[in-house]
Structure 1
Amino acid sequence: MTQRHIAARLLWAGRHLIWRRADWNRVLFTDDSRFTVMLMEDYGFADCCIVEKNRFGGESVMVWGAIMGNRKTDLVFVQGNIDAQRYVADVLNAYALPFIRQHGPGETLMHDNARPHVARVTTQFLQQNNVNVMPWPAVSPDLNPIEHIWDQLGRKARAYHQIDNARDLTRALQQKLRNLPNALVLRYVTSMRRRIIACIHANGGPTRY
């Protein structure tokens, strides 16, 4: 995290400090995450990993998901690398846009600054479909409440399932998301004001989230 990132985070937090709970409940928080069958020590926190089998390799699955208020989308399992065209077709058009339309109007899409998210084909698609997009500061996973959903899925999949391969992992993640209480999803969403205050107190630096 550079000084430029820190300044951008602090500015973003200041602009959203006045947002109320009802405002955050209209944001579709999205993210993707890779879950692996191995213990992946360099991923940031070990709880998102499933079973230690081989430190030098292991099967994995990439998933996309979203939460809004006390609701959650299905998991989208992404095969291989995803470029802007696939992101638009397989994620935004197939899942995010129908979800926003179902629960709109006035909903806002949040996604980070990954290259497929900010590509011209993506921004044009969102503009053509009148989707509000929340500006998001770079290097800020601690501000995105869906990161805790990934943590929950990883913990529960590892605790209650025998995971030997990617197929086992896929089934476990799907089941655990279906069983994840909506009240828990809402609790993470309503933590946004606390996250913003923590960011401001840290002068834009990293927070405990």
Structure 2
Amino acid sequence: MHRRPGYEARNALSKTQFKLKRQNQSIHVYGVIGWNFKGQLHFYTGSGIGGRLVQADYMAILEQIVAPERDKDCVLVEDNDGPHGTKGKGPNKIKALKDLLGIRWKMNPANSPDLNPIETIWRIIKQRLKSRGVIFEEAVLRQAIQEEWDKITIEEINRAISTMPDRVAALNERNGRPIPY
């Protein structure tokens, strides 16, 4: 965002929309998909600076949401975010907790989002949300996210999952460079 000289220009409606929209983009949502399966959405606020997720928050999510809802055959796919326990040195509390809770998991590097099927679903939801225009209130944004999640069909989920072998092949052909998905 850039600042224009003068009070009126700085507080023009377009600048105010941008400020409010940026605030709304800090909503955290956890959702689960699998072949022929779509779980509930869970909204949460992190206890870190600006509502960011910290390890204590992630441990609570693992205990309260992931462990009770998981299917024994499911694998939790995580990105390389710090609270997921993929960074740092010394004993890893997050990995120990996942073992204790019996959660099977694998890490998906943050620079490979195309290899995680839920990212395809989030992309669909984000595109649908953009067509609604700017949403100013957090409660309205949460409701809109929930509505778009509810509109996601099992066919869309299965299609996202079924493309994974092609995505891996494309990644291999391109020697790890970005793929067109």
TM-score bucket (shorter structure): 0.7 to 0.9
- How far apart, CA to CA, are the structure 1 residues paired with 2:120 and 2:155? 14
- Could you say if the C-alpha distance between residues 63 and 53 of structure 1 is closer, same or farther in structure 2, counting changes exceeding 3 Å? farther
CA contact 1:85–1:122 (8 Å) conserved in 2: no
What amino acid does structure 2 have at the position aligned with 1:67? I
TM-score (norm 1): 0.66
- Corresponding pairs, count: 155
| 1:81 alignment counterpart | 52
Looking at structure 1, the residues matched to 167 and 63 of structure 2 have their Cα atoms a distance apart, in angstroms, of 30
Relative to total residues, which structure has the larger strand share, 1 or 2?
Answer: 1
| Partner Cα distance (1:56, 1:157) in 2 | 18
1:198 aligns with 2:170: yes
Amino acid in the other structure paired with 2:179: T
**Structure 1 residues 155, 136: closer, same or farther in 2, change over 3 A?**
closer
Q: Alignment partner for residue 96 of structure 1, among 60, 66, 75?
A: 66
In structure 1, runs of 5+ residues without a counterpart are 1-51
Amino acid in the other structure paired with 1:55 = F
Larger RCO, structures 1/2 (Cα 8 Å, 6+ apart): 1
Identity of aligned residues (%): 27
Output the CA distance in 2 between the equivalents of 1:139 and 1:174. Answer: 27
Task: Report SS of the residue matched to 2:141.
Answer: helix
Structure 2 SS opposite 1:207: coil
Which region of structure 1 is more displaced relative to structure 2, 62-71 or 184-193? 62-71
| Partner of residue 145 from structure 2, selected from 152, 173, 181 | 173
Specify every segment of 5 or more residues in structure 2 that has no aligned partner in the other structure, as ranges: 1-14, 46-50, 87-91
Q: CA deviation at 1:55?
A: 3.3
Task: Report the 3-state secondary structure (helix = DSSP H, G, I; strand = E; otherwise coil) of the residue aligned with 2:160.
Answer: helix
Q: What pairs up with 1:52-63 in 2 under 5 angstroms? A: 54-58=17-21, 59-60=23-24, 61-63=27-29
Q: Distance in 2 between matches of 1:157 and 1:81?
A: 22
Distance across 1 between alignment mates of 2:68 and 2:107: 21
> Which is further off, 74-83 or 192-201?
74-83
- Report Cα offsets for 1:119-161 as digits up to 9, x if no partner: 6221111011222212433511121111121121122233357
Q: Which amino acid aligns with 1:86?
A: D
Helix, strand or coil at the partner of 1:134: strand
Alpha-carbon RMSD across the aligned residues, in angstroms, is: 2.3
Q: SS of the counterpart of 1:139?
A: coil
Change (3 A) 1:56 1:159: closer
